[in-house]
C-alpha cells in the first residue's frame, strides 16, 4: 500500500538524490500510476529530452521500470505502447543502503562491500564498469577475475542479481484494469491497483532463478580456466556477453535478511535467548527454501533436525532436547506435533511487534489510561461498549468516553452507535487493524520525511560551521559545532530506527 505521505517521502528522497527535474517525473509516476513518455511530457511540462533523461536516471537507479503492452483491437493490428512505472519500494530502499552495506560487511569481506557500494551508488553496472571502478585511484588496474570472484561471492548469497528484463511485455487485461482504476478520483482506490500493477510488471520482468544469480557461461569457463591454470590475464573478449550484462543489488534478499533479523530480535525481546537461537537456527537452515519475502510460517522441520541445527551454535550447545521442545512451544508450536514437524508462525511474531509499536504511540500520545483501553480493544478484536471498557480498564466512567473519542477522532479507533430508542443509545468501539495499520504507516512516512527535512534545516542553519577548518573550532564555535554533531547523530539514528518500523509495517 502506498499512502500519500509515503509518496511525499519518496519524492523527497529522489529530490535529495537526483534533483528537481528527476523528482518531478518521479512524482507524476507515483501519483498518477504508469505513464507513457508523451503523457509524462504533458503532465510535467518539461521537454521530451528532459523527461527522457530523467527516466534514464530513474531506470539506472532501479526506481522506474519500463514495460510494453498492446493497445487497440487485436484484429485491427495491435500497437505496442511503452509505459513507465515508478517502483515505490525501491525508492524507499535508498534510505536503507547503509543497512545493506552493514550486512555485507558482517558476512563477507571488504572487497565485496566495495563492490556493493559501487552498485548501490551507480545503480547498475557491467563487470567492466566494476573493474574500472575498483581500479580508480590505484596504481595497477585491478584484475577482472578478482572483481569477478567478488561478484560470484555476492551472487552466491543472492545479494546481487542480474538486472531484470528492461522492457517486459505485459498482457492486456492488466492494462485495462489499471486504466479503469486510474480514472477513479479517490486517492485511496488509486493506491491499491498501482501496487498490484507494479508487482505484475516486476513479475514479468524478473529473470528465471537460474540465470538471475549466475555469471554468463563464457565468463564462467574463462574464470575456471584462470583458477586452474593460474595464468594468462586475457579473460573476456570484446564480444562477450559479460560485457553487456548489467548487475545490481538485489534488494529483495536484503529485505529478507533484515526480516529474519527482526523476527529473531523480536523473539529475543519477548521470550528469551533460547527461543531466539532456535528461531535463528531454523531460519538459517531453511533460508534457501524461502520463496517470497513475506513468508507466513517457517519451513516445517522435525525436532531432530531442529536440534541438529541448534547444536551448531555456541549457545545452542548448552540446550537439551527438552529445552528446545519447551522453547518451540513458547514460540507457538502445539505441544504435540503430527509427524513431528515444527513450523513457527512468523506472521504472528511480526504482528505482535506491530501491535507493540502502535501501542507505544498510544501510550506516549494519549497516556496510560488510553494505553490500557487500546490494548483491551486490540486484544478483544470486537466491538465493546463504553461502560464495559471503563470497568475492565479501571478508568473513571466519566473519563472513558473522552479518551475513546480522542482516539476515535485521531483514527485510532472505530466507533459504532447503537440506538435503542430515540433517547437512549450506546457507543461501541473497536480497533480496526487493517485501517489503523495504513494510518500509522502513513504517519510514520510523515515522521521520516520530517526527520529528513529537519536534518537539512539544521545543516542549512549552521552551514558555515562545516567550512571552518578543524583547528579553528574553539570557544563558542566549538559549542555550536558539538551541538550540530549531536543533532545530526540523534536525527540520523532516529531516522534509521524509524525506518526499521517502516519495514516492519510495509516490507515484512
Partner 1 sequence: MSRLPSLKRKQPDSGPSSVALTDHERILYNVIRSKRDMGIWTRDLKRESNLADNVVNKSLKSLEGKKLIKEVVNIQNKGRKHYMAAEFEPSKEITGGDWYSEGILDVDFINIVKDQCLKHIFRQKVATFDGVSEWIRKSGIFKAEITQQQIEEILRALVLDNEITEVKSTGFGEFASVPIGRVCYKCTSKSGHKGEPKAGAMASVPCGVCPRISLCTPDGIISPGTCVYYEKWLDF
- Least Cβ distance, residue 500 to partner 1 (angstroms): 6
- Least Cβ distance, residue 338 to partner 1 (angstroms): 18
- Enumerate the H helices of 33-138 as residue ranges: 37-44, 48-60, 74-77, 88-93, 97-107, 110-122, 127-135
Residue 45 region by backbone torsions, left for phi larger than 0, else alpha for psi between -120 and 50, else beta = left
CB-nearer residue toward partner 1: 244 or 493: 493
Closest to 334 in 3D by CA, of 325, 321, 347: 325
CB-nearer residue toward partner 1: 379 or 472: 379
- Least Cβ distance, residue 372 to partner 1 (angstroms): 4
Distance CA 164, CA 298 (A): 28
Q: Contacts from 452-461 at CB under 8 Å and sequence distance 24+?
A: 452/9, 452/12, 452/13, 452/16, 452/495, 453/12, 454/491, 455/488, 455/491, 455/492, 455/495, 456/16, 458/484, 458/487, 458/488, 458/491, 459/484, 459/488
CB-nearer residue toward partner 1: 406 or 414: 406
- Least Cβ distance, residue 401 to partner 1 (angstroms): 12
- Least Cβ distance, residue 187 to partner 1 (angstroms): 15
- Secondary structure letter of residue 313 according to DSSP: S
CA torsion sign, 173 to 87 to 105 to 121?
positive
Residue 339 region by backbone torsions, left for phi larger than 0, else alpha for psi between -120 and 50, else beta = left
Distance of CA 363 to the CA centre of its chain: 27
- Least Cβ distance, residue 53 to partner 1 (angstroms): 26
Residue 351 region by backbone torsions, left for phi larger than 0, else alpha for psi between -120 and 50, else beta = alpha
CB-nearer residue toward partner 1: 240 or 392: 392
Q: How far is CA 313 from CA 157, 260, 281, 390, in A?
A: 20, 17, 8, 49
Q: How far is CA 376 from CA 218, 403, 414, 505, in A?
A: 63, 13, 14, 22
- Least Cβ distance, residue 328 to partner 1 (angstroms): 9
Residues that bind partner 1 (CB under 8 A): 322-323, 325-327, 329-330, 335, 356-357, 359-361, 363-365, 368, 371-372, 375-376, 379, 391-397, 440, 443-444, 446-447, 449-451, 453-454, 457-458, 482-483, 486-487, 490-491, 494, 497-498, 500-501
Q: How far is CA 72 from CA 120, 204, 427, in A?
A: 39, 21, 54
CB-nearer residue toward partner 1: 220 or 359: 359
CB-nearer residue toward partner 1: 304 or 391: 391
CB-nearer residue toward partner 1: 142 or 498: 498
CB-nearer residue toward partner 1: 167 or 443: 443
Q: How far is CA 416 from CA 398, 425, 428, in A?
A: 19, 10, 5
Helix (H, G, I), strand (E, B) or coil at 62: coil
CB-nearer residue toward partner 1: 107 or 391: 391
- Least Cβ distance, residue 479 to partner 1 (angstroms): 9
- Enumerate the H helices of 293-367 as residue ranges: 303-311, 321-330, 346-366
CB-nearer residue toward partner 1: 207 or 329: 329
Helix (H) or strand (E) holding 406: helix 400-409
- Least Cβ distance, residue 100 to partner 1 (angstroms): 19
Helix (H, G, I), strand (E, B) or coil at 111: helix
- Least Cβ distance, residue 360 to partner 1 (angstroms): 4
- Least Cβ distance, residue 443 to partner 1 (angstroms): 6
- Least Cβ distance, residue 462 to partner 1 (angstroms): 12
Q: What is the 3-state secondary structure (H, E, C) of 186-241?
A: CHHHHHHHHHHHHHHHHHHHCCCHHHHCCCCHHHHHHHHHHHHHCCCCCCCCCCCH
CB-nearer residue toward partner 1: 212 or 480: 480
Task: Report yes or no: 367 and 412 within 8 Å, Cβ to Cβ.
Answer: no
Cell for 17?
Answer: 538524490
CB-nearer residue toward partner 1: 42 or 365: 365
- Least Cβ distance, residue 418 to partner 1 (angstroms): 17
Residue labelled with grid coordinates 564498469: 129
CB-nearer residue toward partner 1: 428 or 453: 453
Contacts of 150 (CB under 8 A, 6+ apart): 109, 111, 112, 115
Amino acid at each position: 500500500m502506498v499512502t500519500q505521505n509515503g509518496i511525499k517521502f519518496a519524492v523527497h528522497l529522489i529530490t535529495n538524490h537526483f534533483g528537481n527535474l528527476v523528482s518531478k517525473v518521479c512524482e507524476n509516476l507515483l501519483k498518477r500510476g504508469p505513464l507513457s513518455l508523451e503523457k509524462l511530457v504533458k503532465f510535467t511540462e518539461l521537454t521530451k529530452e528532459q523527461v527522457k533523461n530523467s527516466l534514464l536516471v530513474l531506470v539506472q537507479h532501479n526506481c522506474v521500470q519500463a514495460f510494453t503492452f498492446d493497445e487497440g483491437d487485436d484484429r485491427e493490428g495491435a500497437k505496442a505502447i511503452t509505459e513507465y512505472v515508478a517502483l515505490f519500494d525501491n525508492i524507499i530502499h535508498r534510505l536503507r543502503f547503509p543497512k545493506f552495506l552493514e550486512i555485507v560487511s558482517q558476512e563477507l569481506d571488504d572487497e565485496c562491500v566495495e563492490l556493493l557500494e559501487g552498485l548501490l551508488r551507480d545503480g547498475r553496472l557491467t563487470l567492466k564498469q566494476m573493474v574500472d571502478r575498483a581500479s580508480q585511484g590505484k596504481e595497477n588496474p585491478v584484475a577482472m577475475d578478482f572483481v569477478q570472484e567478488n561478484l560470484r561471492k555476492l551472487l552466491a548469497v543472492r545479494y546481487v542479481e542480474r538486472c531484470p528484463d528492461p522492457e517486459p511485455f505485459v498482457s492486456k487485461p492488466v492494462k485495462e484494469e489499471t486504466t479503469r482504476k486510474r480514472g477513479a478520483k479517490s486517492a485511496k482506490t488509486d493506491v491499491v491497483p498501482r501496487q498490484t500493477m507494479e508487482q505484475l510488471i516486476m513479475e514479468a520482468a524478473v529473470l528465471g532463478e537460474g540465470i538471475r544469480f549466475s555469471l554468463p557461461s563464457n565468463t564462467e569457463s574463462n574464470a575456471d580456466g584462470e583458477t586452474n591454470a593460474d595464468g594468462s590475464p586475457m579473460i573476456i573478449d570484446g564480444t562477450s556477453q559479460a560485457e553487456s550484462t548489467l548487475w545490481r543489488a538485489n534488494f529483495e534478499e536484503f529485505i529478507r535478511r533484515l526480516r529474519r533479523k527482526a523476527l529473531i530480535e523480536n523473539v529475543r525481546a519477548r521470550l528469551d535467548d533460547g527461543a531466539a537461537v532456535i528461531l535463528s537456527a531454523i531460519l538459517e537452515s531453511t533460508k534457501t527454501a524461502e520463496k517470497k519475502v513475506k513468508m507466513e510460517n517457517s519451513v516445517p522441520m522435525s525436532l531432530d533436525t531442529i536440534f541438529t541445527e541448534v547444536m551448531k551454535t555456541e549457545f545452542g550447545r548448552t540446550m537439551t532436547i527438552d529445552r528446545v521442545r519447551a522453547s518451540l512451544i513458547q514460540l507457538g508450536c502445539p505441544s504435540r506435533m503430527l509427524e513431528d514437524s515444527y513450523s513457527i508462525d512468523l506472521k504472528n511474531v511480526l504482528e505482535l511487534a506491530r501491535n507493540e509499536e502502535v501501542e507505544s504511540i498510544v501510550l506516549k500520545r494519549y497516556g496510560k489510561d488510553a494505553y490500557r483501553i487500546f490494548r483491551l480493544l486490540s486484544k478483544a478484536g470486537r466491538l465493546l461498549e463504553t461502560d464495559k471498557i471503563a470497568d475492565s480498564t479501571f478508568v473513571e466512567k466519566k473519563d472513558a468516553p473522552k479518551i475513546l473519542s480522542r482516539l476515535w477522532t485521531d483514527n485510532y479507533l472505530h466507533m459504532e452507535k447503537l440506538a435503542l430508542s430515540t433517547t437512549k443509545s450506546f457507543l461501541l468501539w473497536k480497533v480496526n487493524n487493517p485501517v489503523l495499520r495504513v494510518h500509522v504507516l502513513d504517519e510514520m512516512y510523515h515522521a521520516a520525511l520530517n526527520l529528513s527535512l529537519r536534518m537539512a534545516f539544521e545543516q542549512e542553519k549552521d552551514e558555515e560551521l562545516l567550512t571552518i577548518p578543524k583547528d579553528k573550532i574553539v570557544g563558542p564555535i566549538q559549542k555550536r559545532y558539538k551541538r550540530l554533531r549531536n543533532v545530526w547523530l540523534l536525527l540520523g539514528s532516529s531516522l534509521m530506527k524509524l525506518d526499521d518500523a517502516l519495514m516492519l509495517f510495509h516490507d515484512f
